[in-house]
Protein backbone atom coordinates (compact mmCIF):
# COMPACT_ATOMS: atom_id res chain seq x y z
CA UNK A 1 0.00 0.00 0.00
CA UNK A 2 1.31 3.41 -0.99
CA UNK A 3 1.30 6.08 1.70
CA UNK A 4 0.75 9.78 1.12
CA UNK A 5 3.86 11.56 -0.09
CA UNK A 6 5.62 13.44 2.68
CA UNK A 7 6.66 16.95 1.74
CA UNK A 8 9.94 18.43 2.84
CA UNK A 9 9.62 21.41 5.16
CA UNK A 10 11.06 23.79 2.58
CA UNK A 11 8.67 22.73 -0.21
CA UNK A 12 6.26 25.67 0.10
CA UNK A 13 9.10 28.21 0.38
CA UNK A 14 10.82 26.92 -2.75
CA UNK A 15 7.57 26.61 -4.71
CA UNK A 16 6.50 30.15 -3.82
CA UNK A 17 9.92 31.58 -4.67
CA UNK A 18 9.85 29.92 -8.10
CA UNK A 19 6.35 31.23 -8.80
CA UNK A 20 7.34 34.76 -7.75
CA UNK A 21 10.27 34.53 -10.19
CA UNK A 22 7.83 33.83 -13.03
CA UNK A 23 8.08 30.06 -13.32
CA UNK A 24 5.00 27.91 -13.75
CA UNK A 25 5.25 25.11 -11.16
CA UNK A 26 3.57 21.73 -11.69
CA UNK A 27 3.39 19.53 -8.60
CA UNK A 28 4.25 15.83 -9.02
CA UNK A 29 5.09 15.12 -5.37
CA UNK A 30 2.45 12.40 -5.13
CA UNK A 31 3.56 10.59 -8.30
CA UNK A 32 6.21 8.44 -6.60
CA UNK A 33 8.50 6.00 -8.45
CA UNK A 34 11.38 8.49 -8.49
CA UNK A 35 9.55 11.27 -10.31
CA UNK A 36 10.72 14.64 -8.94
CA UNK A 37 8.49 16.85 -6.82
CA UNK A 38 8.09 19.64 -9.38
CA UNK A 39 8.29 20.35 -13.08
CA UNK A 40 8.95 24.02 -13.69
CA UNK A 41 8.24 25.77 -16.97
CA UNK A 42 9.02 29.21 -18.40
CA UNK A 43 8.47 30.17 -22.03
CA UNK A 44 11.40 31.66 -23.91
CA UNK A 45 10.82 34.85 -25.94
CA UNK A 46 9.73 32.81 -28.99
CA UNK A 47 7.12 30.97 -26.90
CA UNK A 48 8.99 27.66 -26.66
CA UNK A 49 8.79 26.27 -23.12
CA UNK A 50 11.96 25.74 -21.13
CA UNK A 51 11.52 22.99 -18.51
CA UNK A 52 13.39 21.55 -15.54
CA UNK A 53 12.54 18.80 -13.07
CA UNK A 54 13.10 19.89 -9.47
CA UNK A 55 13.49 17.49 -6.56
CA UNK A 56 13.04 19.28 -3.23
CA UNK A 57 15.17 18.09 -0.33
CA UNK A 58 16.07 19.44 3.06
CA UNK A 59 19.69 20.62 3.41
CA UNK A 60 20.81 17.14 4.48
CA UNK A 61 18.21 15.13 2.53
CA UNK A 62 19.42 12.32 0.27
CA UNK A 63 18.06 11.01 -3.00
CA UNK A 64 16.50 7.54 -3.03
CA UNK A 65 17.73 5.02 -5.64
CA UNK A 66 14.65 5.60 -7.84
CA UNK A 67 15.32 9.35 -7.74
CA UNK A 68 18.96 8.83 -8.72
CA UNK A 69 17.81 6.74 -11.68
CA UNK A 70 15.47 9.53 -12.85
CA UNK A 71 18.20 12.11 -12.26
CA UNK A 72 20.63 10.20 -14.49
CA UNK A 73 18.37 10.68 -17.50
CA UNK A 74 17.68 14.40 -17.18
CA UNK A 75 20.82 15.74 -15.50
CA UNK A 76 22.87 15.36 -18.70
CA UNK A 77 20.28 17.53 -20.47
CA UNK A 78 20.52 20.16 -17.70
CA UNK A 79 16.85 19.50 -16.91
CA UNK A 80 17.17 18.27 -13.32
CA UNK A 81 17.96 20.08 -10.10
CA UNK A 82 17.96 19.20 -6.41
CA UNK A 83 16.53 22.21 -4.57
CA UNK A 84 17.42 22.85 -0.94
CA UNK A 85 17.16 26.64 -0.57
CA UNK A 86 14.62 29.03 -2.16
CA UNK A 87 17.02 31.81 -3.14
CA UNK A 88 19.67 29.45 -4.46
CA UNK A 89 17.04 27.54 -6.44
CA UNK A 90 15.62 30.66 -8.09
CA UNK A 91 19.11 31.90 -8.92
CA UNK A 92 20.11 28.56 -10.48
CA UNK A 93 16.86 28.14 -12.42
CA UNK A 94 17.02 31.69 -13.75
CA UNK A 95 20.68 31.19 -14.79
CA UNK A 96 19.76 27.98 -16.63
CA UNK A 97 16.74 29.59 -18.26
CA UNK A 98 18.70 32.63 -19.44
CA UNK A 99 21.54 30.44 -20.73
CA UNK A 100 19.03 28.50 -22.83
CA UNK A 101 17.72 31.58 -24.62
CA UNK A 102 19.19 32.04 -28.06
CA UNK A 103 21.60 34.93 -28.37
CA UNK A 104 19.45 36.77 -30.95
CA UNK A 105 16.93 37.54 -28.20
CA UNK A 106 19.59 39.43 -26.23
CA UNK A 107 19.91 42.20 -28.83
29-65, pLDDT tens digit by residue?
999 899 999 999 999 988 999 999 999 999 999 999 9
Query: What's the CA gap between 2 and 11, in Å, rounded?
Result: 21
pTM (2 d.p.) = 0.87
Question: Is residue 28 over pLDDT 80?
Answer: yes
Q: What is the structure's pLDDT at 104?
A: 59
Query: What's the CA gap between 57 and 68, in Å, rounded?
Result: 13
Question: Is residue 101 over pLDDT 90?
Answer: no
Q: Which domain holds residue 57?
A: 11-100
2 or 18: whose pLDDT is higher?
18
Question: Is residue 1 over pLDDT 70?
Answer: no
What CATH number did the domain enclosing 85 receive? 3.40.1350.10
Query: What's the CA gap between 14 and 12, in Å, rounded?
Result: 6
pLDDT tens string 63-88:
999 999 999 999 989 999 999 999 99
Domain total for the chain? 1
In a domain, 39, yes or no: yes
Query: What's the CA gap between 104 and 74, in Å, rounded?
Result: 26
Amino acid sequence: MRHAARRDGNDALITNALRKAGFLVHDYAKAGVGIPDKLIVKDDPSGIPWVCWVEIKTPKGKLRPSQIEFQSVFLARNEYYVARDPEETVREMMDRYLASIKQEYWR
